[in-house]
Amino acid sequence: MSIGSVFEGMIRYSFLGVTLALLPMLFLLLLLHARERIMDGLRTGVTRMAFQKLFEFSDRLDERYDENKIRGSAVWITPVVWIGITSAVALMFLMIIVTTISG
């Protein structure tokens, strides 16, 4: 087992972790984007209240970023998603380099 294969394994598991962390964030972005359709479609009180709290929490987090006070923009999560995407791209480039060097 060479040092190249150790680095390759570390990069693969890091890439897997970044990918698994991005999936819930992208799902949350989809939920926040479709908030009006979700609230129109929910009829039960418990589920509707949980989504209402999520949307209110997102609006409170957006207050710092949004000057126009547009509800449902989810600006607060966008930098986190971009950090995850750039990390995934950097890990892919690192994987290419390690694979090329180790043969």
Parent domain of 24: 3-102
Amino acid code (one letter) for 93: F
Distances (CA, A) of 93 to 11, 20, 47, 97: 10, 19, 42, 6
**Which of 54, 96, 50, 84 is CA-nearest to residue 72?**
54
Q: Measure the CA–CA gap between 9 and 87, rounded to whole angstroms.
A: 16
Per-residue pLDDT of 35-61, as tens digits, reads 888 888 887 788 888 888 988 888 888
More confident residue, 83 or 74: 83
Residues 6+ apart with CB under 8 A from 37: none
Q: Is the pLDDT of residue 73 over 80?
A: no
Residues 6+ apart with CB under 8 A from 44: none
When divided into structural domains, the chain yields a total of 1
Q: For the chain, give the percent of residues with pLDDT over 70.
A: 90
Confidence at residue 13, expressed as pLDDT on a 0 to 100 scale: 92
